[in-house]
Amino acid sequence: METKQDLIQWLDAESARFIHMADEIWAHPEVAWREFRASKLQADFLAAEGFDVTWDIAGINTAFVAQWGMGHPIIGFAGEYDALAGLSQASQPCQEILAEGEAGHACGHNLLGTGCLASAVAIKRWLESTGTEGTVRYYGCPAEERTSGKTFMARAGAFDDLDAAFNYHPDRMNMPSTGTNVGVYDLTFRFHGTAAHAGGSPHMGRSALDAVELMNVGVNYLREHVTEKVRIHYVITHGGDLPNVVPAEAEVWYFVRALERRELDQVAQRVHKIAQGAALMTETTMEETFNGACSSVLNNHYLADLQYRAMELIGPVEFTKEERAYAQQINDAYPEGNRQSLFKDMELPEDLKASLPELRQQPLLGDNYPPMDERHVSTGSTDVGDVSWITPLSMLRTACFATGASGHSWGIVATSGMSIGHKGMMHAAKIMAVAAYDLYTDPRHLEAARQEFEAATKDNPYRSPLPDALKPPHYENPYA
């Protein structure tokens, strides 16, 4: 294996192995911090490929680093494998729960992690066969859906010596990203009151649930007084046990999101004050817990352009008539407005603007597009952001989903476990591998990416959003 075409052909020839891995992870979804089966599956695979595997990164027992090679450049591929609770779905184009109450890969992380792993293995094979100096790493990163796996790993220094990093996310189109995502704080608020008979002596009780509900009302009024890119959302995780008992304990779980750390701190402090006010109004006490956080994303434009050149070499994803029909059936179950959001807020060339009505009617988009989201701020969050402030990083998106499927919904699970998702995953693996090839063979690419990175971070160096004393959750490994 010597050339870029050799890398592409090797990934094509070996695709069945990686598809099998992605499907195994899809069939056994595990939520954040509990990805014991998926992490072991990947780590064992990489160990068999000759990688040195180190476990328990940052004290997380589902986090590992697999490394092969010596010296610089050191290029990292950041994978993920956690699923989303309560989103079980059969591999079919209509909604049907596969296992009641179970998780599902409604963000495609079974594809994300495996695609990054496939790139790392391909690069290892190429480095080995050519004798090229350099090191390749695959990072097995847990709990992206809790926004903090890579943040804990970053605080522990896991990414500090990287020369560059790659990550991709399954999406509805093929495009390197130059935009950003907002940062997030993961917070819970627990209120402590006094139990009493809700019918016989309600005046003796102090309702923790009332405090939760008053806090939520206050935060909902706050939404009118925050900037456009701020997002605040919550779920009530405990509201009492019986209607005839005044709830002595209640809890609400919040995600607070904003682009700039300063604004994120300000909004989180206002939410905290509302919680204090709710406790005061109900004569309860309040306890706030900081669970985790991640930073905004700093995408490296030079690396994004390098990935687009790789996409031009590889060509588009060819979807079959049957795959398009499958995706169309999924689209038919979602609002028409979902497809209208394609390419929204992007800087489009004139020829693409003219073809938008037609493109938005397509159930799948296999063509490759240049970076067009430079000024776009996604109000979703990812802990990839913390890696991006430590080393030059480029996120990539590839077409793994139907164009009308909503994120974090059954339609995403439905294509993440079949050929549509497989094709997008292998497309990403090839793009990242070809771009990495350029970094290993021509130091000018790394120098240009590093110069851009240093200019962007000169007056704003990385600072972990996690409190120093905060430790990651720990669960017992059932397979140990």
pLDDT tens for 217-262 read: 999 999 999 999 999 999 999 999 999 999 999 999 999 999 999 9
Is the pLDDT assigned to residue 62 strictly greater than 90?
yes
What is the predicted pLDDT for the residue at 455?
98
Residue percentage of the chain with pLDDT more than 70? 100
Torsion of CA 196, 202, 205, 211, to 10 degrees: 120
pLDDT at 50: 98
Q: How far apart are the first and last CA of the chain?
A: 37
Closest CA to 404 of 417, 414, 391: 414
Q: Rounded CA gap, 277 and 221, in Å? A: 14
pLDDT score at 351: 87
| Whole-number Å distance between alpha carbons of 133 and 268 | 47
- What residue ranges define each of the domains in the chain, with the CATH number in brackets? 4-181+296-457 (3.40.630.10), 183-292 (3.30.70.360)
Task: Give me the pLDDT at residue 344, please.
Answer: 87
Mean of all residue pLDDT scores within the chain: 97
CA distance 472 to 322: 44
pLDDT category of residue 1 using cuts at 50, 70 and 90: confident
152-208, pLDDT tens digit by residue?
Answer: 999 999 999 999 999 999 999 999 999 999 999 999 999 999 999 999 999 999 999
* Residue for token pair 């050519």: 130
pLDDT above 90 as % of the chain: 96
Q: Which residues make Cβ contacts (< 8 Å) with residue 477, sequence separation at least 6? A: 36, 61
Query: Average pLDDT for residues 315-319, to the nearest whole number?
Result: 98
Residue 317 is predicted with a pLDDT of 98
State yes or no: pLDDT of 480 exceeds 80: no
Q: What is the model's pLDDT at position 61?
A: 96
Q: Which of 184, 247, 187 lies closest to 384, judged by CA?
A: 184
Size of the chain, expressed as the number of residues it contains:
480
Q: Is a pLDDT exceeding 90 seen at residue 416? A: yes
Q: What is the pLDDT of residues 327-367, one digit of tens each?
A: 999 999 999 989 988 998 899 998 898 899 999 999 999 99
- Is the peptide bond preceding residue 73 cis, with omega within 30 degrees of 0? yes
Residue 36's nearest CA partner among 54, 60, 5, 20 is: 60
